[in-house]
């Protein structure tokens, strides 16, 4: 057994810093590179791409990234784990194999985790008695069943561990929990018993620290952010894990960023609910138990995590077509910038009403004044305001209303208050609104499947 392993985070979401995973593998020794590509909406986007072309439906950045990092990974024996397979992990693996062939890398084994995509089985699942009720509203999925765009089960670390046991150099999954990507190599390398819930929770919490990339190493740090050095080449987090369950969060020395009690604590609190009840397929982790110790030199030790058995359910993430939205903006300058923007908003709303358009919501914000903090903002003396961006957003089930809204913004320039600018982007186009439907499914109804491609 290895005395320790280093797991490097390479991506916090699809669209994150493209250089980051490359930096992680070239700037020091790591054993694993883990990359989270999937947000809730991402699955529906990928599903649409797959519907148009059955060879797509995964994070398209992956093959190009692999072309860059595979030679280094092969040389240094770094394994890669990612959920960027999206709704088509097989196609993703095939694309990576193609790339590896082109650059002369042989004997590559890719483990693919399948079985999370239940879009085609929803009827069967409902008829077996699982209503896939919305976890928040408790409504039955029947009301949106015809509009479903994607439906995926969140698997945990287990199928990734299985793929590693089968000798995979790369593991590509569909909808796996972000935390499972980091927990899996710890289980695999240290032979951790998956019934040891304290260890499962430790690895899960380490995964939570890694899953948003540089958000634990100084990015988006609301503490003393100006003390963070070299944002331009910010180092993504690395979890240095030990068999006894100690984990040190750190980063490569020669990259920028900062790892301290404060930067790690902020990420621990990110998007959590009840800290004693962080539910994953692998365990229920208690975030209020973890002990953090700042060791200095960009190293933070975490230990003594308490955990509990997982529930009998997997979470299901569904997305469905909801309607349309559009956002338009214009900028008004001094004098009386705010008064002008408010007047333009009134005129716009009157015109939309006169046209008989229907909207679920029309939302007006004044960017530069109060779009972030709304009613909490003390409005300054108007003479001190140099400019205001009027931002109006609409949402409707009716495409034509949203489309017409887009044609009512530019006319305000010549038919409303003066000293207005900022319409270079053209008419706002209606965007499809895809809504999210969280549900639970008994674990006995779905089974992850692991395939090895080589």
Partner 1 sequence: MKIKLIDIAHGRSGDKGDSANVGIIAYNKEGYEIIKKYLTAEKVKSYFEGICLGEVERFELPNLLALNFILHNTLGGGGTISLKLDAQGKTLAAALLRMELVVNQ
| Interacting residues with partner 1 (CB under 8 A) | 40-41, 136, 220-224, 262, 265-276, 287-292, 322, 325, 327, 361, 363, 365, 367, 371-376, 391, 393-395, 433-436, 438
Residue 44: CB minimum distance to partner 1, A: 9
Among 15, 120, 125, 117, CA closest to 57: 117
CA distance 94 to 170: 12
Q: How far is the CB of 324 from partner 1 (least distance, A)?
A: 11
Closer to partner 1 by Cβ: residue 9 or 24: 9
Tell me how far, at minimum, the Cβ of 201 lies from partner 1, in Å. Answer: 13
Judged by beta carbon, residue 129 or residue 375, the one nearer partner 1 is 375
**Cis before 366 (ω within 30):** no
Nearest to 324 by CA among 272, 375, 363, 360: 360
Nearest distance from residue 17's CB to partner 1, in Å?
18
Could you tell me the two tokens for 372? Answer: 């972030």
Question: Please, what is the minimum distance in Å from the beta carbon of residue 363 to partner 1?
Answer: 4
Residue 120 in tokens: 């085609």
Q: How far is the CB of 222 from partner 1 (least distance, A)?
A: 5
- CB 318, min distance to partner 1, A: 12
Write out the DSSP string of 356-374: T---SEEEEEEETTTTTTG
| 3-state DSSP of 309-350 | CCCCEEEEEEEEEEEEEEEEEEEEECCCHHHHHHHHHHHHHH
Q: Tell me whether residue 76 or residue 363 sits nearer to partner 1 (CB atom).
A: 363
Specify burial of residue 334 (Cβ count, 10 A radius: 0-12, 13-18, 19+): middle
Q: Report the alpha-carbon distance of residue 409 to residue 341 in Å, rounded.
A: 12
β-partners of residue 257 are: 229
Per the CB < 8 A criterion, the answer to whether 245 and 303 are in contact is: yes
Torsion region of 422: left, alpha or beta (phi above 0 gives left; psi -120 to 50 gives alpha): left
> Nearer to partner 1 by C-beta: 222 or 424?
222
Instruction: Between 58 and 320, name the residue whose CB sits nearer to partner 1.
Output: 320
Nearer to partner 1 (CB atom), residue 188 or residue 437: 437
The residue among 189 and 365 lying less far from partner 1, judged by its C-beta, is: 365
What is the rounded distance in angstroms from the CA atom of residue 445 to the CA atom of residue 439? 14
Q: SS3 of 400, please? A: helix
Cβ nearer to partner 1, comparing 43 with 164: 43
Minimum CB–partner distance for residue 302 and partner 1 (Å):
10
Contact 76, 27 (CB under 8 A): no
**SS3 (DSSP) at 108:** coil
Task: Tell me how far, at minimum, the Cβ of 271 lies from partner 1, in Å.
Answer: 4
Instruction: For partner 1, give the closer residue by CB, 6 or 395.
Output: 395
CB neighbours (10 Å) of residue 165?
12
């Amino acid at each position: 057994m290895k005395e320790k392993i280093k797991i490097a985070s390479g991506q916090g979401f699809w669209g994150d810093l493209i250089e980051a995973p490359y930096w992680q593998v070239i700037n020091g020794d790591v054993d694993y590179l883990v990359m989270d590509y999937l947000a809730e909406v991402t699955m529906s986007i990928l599903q649409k791409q797959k519907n148009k072309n059955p060879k797509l439906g995964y994070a398209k950045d992956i093959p190009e990234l692999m072309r860059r990092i595979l030679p280094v990974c092969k040389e240094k024996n770094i394994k890669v784990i990612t959920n960027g397979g999206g709704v088509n992990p097989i196609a993703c693996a095939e694309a990576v194999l193609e790339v590896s062939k082109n650059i002369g890398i042989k004997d590559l084994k890719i483990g693919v985790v399948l079985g999370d995509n239940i879009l085609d089985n929803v009827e069967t699942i409902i008829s077996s008695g699982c209503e896939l009720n919305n976890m928040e509203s408790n409504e039955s999925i029947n009301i949106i069943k015809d509009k479903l765009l994607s439906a995926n089960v969140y698997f945990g670390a287990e199928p990734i561990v299985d793929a590693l046991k089968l000798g995979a150099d790369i593991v590509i999954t569909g909808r796996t929990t972000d935390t499972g990507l980091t927990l899996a190599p710890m289980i695999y390398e240290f032979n951790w018993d998956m019934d040891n819930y304290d260890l499962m929770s430790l690895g899960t919490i380490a995964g939570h620290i890694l899953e948003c990339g540089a958000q634990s190493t100084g990015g988006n740090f609301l503490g003393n952010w100006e003390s963070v050095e070299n944002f331009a080449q910010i180092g993504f987090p690395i979890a240095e894990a030990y068999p006894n369950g100690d984990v040190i969060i750190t980063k490569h020395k020669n990259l920028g960023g900062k790892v301290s009690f404060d930067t790690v604590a902020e990420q621990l609190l990110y998007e959590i609910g009840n800290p004693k009840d962080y539910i994953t397929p692998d365990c229920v982790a208690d975030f209020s138990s973890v002990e953090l110790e700042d060791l200095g030199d960009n190293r933070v030790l975490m230990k003594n995590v308490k955990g509990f058995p997982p529930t009998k359910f997997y979470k299901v993430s569904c997305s469905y077509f909801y309607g349309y939205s559009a956002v338009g903006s214009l900028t008004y300058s001094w004098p009386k910038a705010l008064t002008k923007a408010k007047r333009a908003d009134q005129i716009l709303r009157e015109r939309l009403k006169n046209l008989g358009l229907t909207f679920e919501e029309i939302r007006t914000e004044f960017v530069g004044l109060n779009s972030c903090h709304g009613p909490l903002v003390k409005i300054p003396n108007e003479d001190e305001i140099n400019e205001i961006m009027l931002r109006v957003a609409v949402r409707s089930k009716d495409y034509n209303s949203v489309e017409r809204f887009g044609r009512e913004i530019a006319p305000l320039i010549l038919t409303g208050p003066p000293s207005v600018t900022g319409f270079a982007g053209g008419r706002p186009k209606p965007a499809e609104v895809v809504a999210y439907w969280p549900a639970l499914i008994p674990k006995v109804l779905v089974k992850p499947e692991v395939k090895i491609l080589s």
